[in-house]
Structure 1
Amino acid sequence: MSDDALTKQDFQRLSHFRYQLRCFLRQSEDICREHGLTPLQYQLLLHLLGFEGGEWASVGQLAERLQAKHHGTVALVDRCQQLGLVERRPSRADRRRIEVHLLPRGSELARRIAELHQPELRHLQEEFHLPGWPESS
C-alpha cells in the first residue's frame, strides 16, 4: 500500500460531503418541482440571472455552466422559451450569434427559488466551515 493511500477518515469525509451535497440537491429538486420547473430549467434561469459580464448568455456558455451537451442545452432553452421564461435574440455585435435572455417571469421564478435555497446554503456553509459568499458590488 502506498503512503498516499486513502484512509478510512478520507472515505468518511468524502461520504459525508457527498451525502450533504445530495441532501441539498434533493431539496433543490423538490423546491423546483413545487414551482413548476425541472431542476435543469431552474439552473438555466439561475445561470442567466447570475452570469458574469452580461445580462444574457450564449447557448455554448450555458452548456458549459450546465456541463451539458450543446444540443441538450438547445432543447432546454426551447422548453424554457415555450414556457415564457427566456427568449432568444440575435446579437447586436454579431448577427450570427444568438443571445439567450431571461424574461421577467423567468427572473421572478429564479429569484423566488433561489431565496428558498438560502437556508440550506447557510447550513452547508456552516457544515463545511466555508467562508462567506463574495459580496456583490
Structure 2
Amino acid sequence: MLSIEELQKKVDELVFKAGLPRLSVNLCTTPAGDGTPYISFENEMYNYVFSERGYEFSRKITDSTDELLYWIMSGLAYKIAFQYELENRISGEDGRRIAFPKYIELMTKMNLSWKSKAGDEIEKTLAANPYDDSLYL
C-alpha cells in the first residue's frame, strides 16, 4: 500500500499526463464534511469514502492502487468532460454525446489500460439510459 503522499504524487503525474491544471486533485485522509472524498487505510485496504455533514453515502474498498487511482481520476475526468460539454454544447443533442468521448479520451491519456474500463462504464450507462436527443429540443 502507498502512503497518502505517494498516492498524491501518482495523482499529480496522472493529472500532468492528461494535460490538466496542476493541483487539480488534493487527496484528503479525513472527511471535510462537504462531500469531498477522502481516503482511509483500514486492514491493508484502501477505502475511498464520500461523506457530507457526518453522513457517509458511499464507500469503495480495494487493495489495488490502480483501482483506487482509477476511482480518483474518474471523478476528475467526468467533471472536466461535462464542463467541456457545457462549453461546446450543441442544441438539440444529448450532451453526453460530447462528454462521454471526452471522458474516455482523458482516462486514456492518464493510463492507456483504463480506456476499455472507461468505455465499458459508458456502455453500461447507455444500455440503461440510451442517448435521447429529443430531451434537448
Instruction: Report the TM-score, using the length of structure 2 for normalisation.
Output: 0.29
Instruction: Report the TM-score, using the length of structure 1 for normalisation.
Output: 0.29
**Which has more strand, going by share of residues?**
2
Q: Report the structure number with the largest CA radius of gyration.
A: 1
